[in-house]
Amino acid sequence: DTEVTQTPKHLVMGMTNKKSLKCEQHMGHRAMYWYKQKAKKPPELMFVYSYEKLSINESVPSRFSPECPNSSLLNLHLHALQPEDSALYLCASSQGRGGGVTGELFFGEGSRLTVL
Amino acid sequence: GEDVEQSLFLSVREGDSSVINCTYTDSSSTYLYWYKQEPGAGLQLLTYIFSNMDMKQDQRLTVLLNKKDKHLSLRIADTQTGDSAIYFCAGGSGGSYIPTFGRGTSLIVHP
């Protein structure tokens, strides 16, 4: 199983809502990532978890709150978002902190978020 | 941090070779990657090259690295319509393996 599964695929929320994005992998990977991708732009790193501990936060606003309940799961809790937060949110995983032999990240298909 | 630049579009005929170019700024990048993103899908690692290599060939793919000019290219031989996608160049910033992506080159293959 080389899949990273993200749910939901699409999410529409108001600025006062609280919602969560979920990500799951069963490859035994110990590093998990959240990226944000706006239209026609490259993915931008948001957070990195290594061995279930937050190791990188790229100065992301606190309205985005990551959580790693166990080594297979990664959540992104959303609260009081702005319309400019509308984007494709990509989850990825890799073998351990060093990315394995190749540094390869395995990406999910993404959750497309629209904030009204 | 790493800054990666690539041209935005490339259009080729089926059967021709495609060459996608990329420049990067961080000379300490240990890994340099090419990822592919098909419509509605996540990114998939196509190939990578270590910074101590000049060239890597993997079936139809050839990666060339010019460290002096900080230039990376991806050549796809015998390009097929199924190769139509966005190709992202990425470098590991500060010697990290975590990729910093360029804006992506949209490859369009005409029959």
Q: How far from the centroid of its chain's Cα atoms is residue B78's Cα?
A: 17
What kind and span of H or E run contains A99? none
Q: Which residues in chain A touch residue B6, judged by CB atoms under 8 angstroms apart?
A: none
Cα of B17 to nearest chain A Cα, Å:
24
Residue type, B89: C
Q: Would the CB atoms of B42 and A109 count as touching at under 8 Å? A: yes
Task: Report the percentage of chain B scoring pLDDT > 70.
Answer: 95
Q: Would the CB atoms of B103 and A92 count as touching at under 8 Å? A: no
Q: Are A107 and A92 in contact (CB under 8 A)?
A: yes
Q: Would the CB atoms of A42 and B98 count as touching at under 8 Å? A: no
pLDDT, tens digit (0-9, with 9 covering 90-100), for A63-87: 999 999 999 999 999 999 999 999 9
Q: How far apart are the first and last CA of chain B?
A: 40
Output the pLDDT for position A104: 81
What kind and span of H or E run contains B24? strand B18-24
Q: For residue B95, which phi and psi values (nearest 5 degrees)? A: 80, 0
Q: What is the mean pLDDT of chain B?
A: 90
* Beta bridge partner(s), residue B58: B61
Q: Where are the beta strands (DSSP E) in chain A?
A: 4-7, 10-13, 18-25, 31-37, 44-50, 53-57, 64-70, 73-79, 87-94, 106-107, 111-115
* Beta bridge partner(s), residue B12: B109
Output the pLDDT for position A103: 67
Check residue A105 and report its DSSP letter: P
pLDDT, tens digit (0-9, with 9 covering 90-100), for A91-110: 999 886 555 555 688 999 99
Contacting residues for A83 by C-beta, under 8 A, at least 6 apart = A15, A115, A116
Q: Which residues in chain A touch residue B104, judged by CB atoms under 8 angstroms apart?
A: 42
Q: Does A42 touch chain B (CB under 8 A)?
A: yes
What's the CA gap between B7 and A105, in Å, rounded? Answer: 23
Look at residue B95 and tell me whether its pLDDT is greater than 60: no
Output the pLDDT for position B107: 97
Q: Does B79 touch chain A (CB under 8 A)?
A: no
Output the pLDDT for position B2: 72
pLDDT, tens digit (0-9, with 9 covering 90-100), for A5-62: 999 999 999 999 999 999 999 998 989 999 999 988 889 999 999 889 999 999 999 9
Instruction: Tell me how crowded residue A43 is: count the other CB atoms within 10 A of its CB.
Output: 29
pLDDT, tens digit (0-9, with 9 covering 90-100), for A7-22: 999 999 999 999 999 9
Q: Does B45 touch chain A (CB under 8 A)?
A: yes
Look at residue B65 and tell me whether its pLDDT is greater than 80: yes
Contacting residues for B87 by C-beta, under 8 A, at least 6 apart = B6, B20, B34, B35, B36, B37, B46, B74, B104, B105, B107
A71: buried, middle or exposed (CB in 10 Å: 19+, 13-18, 0-12)? middle
Output the pLDDT for position B1: 66
Confidence of residue B39 (pLDDT cuts 50, 70, 90): confident
Mean pLDDT over residues B1-23, rounded?
Answer: 92
Q: Which residues in chain A touch residue B100, judged by CB atoms under 8 angstroms apart?
A: 45
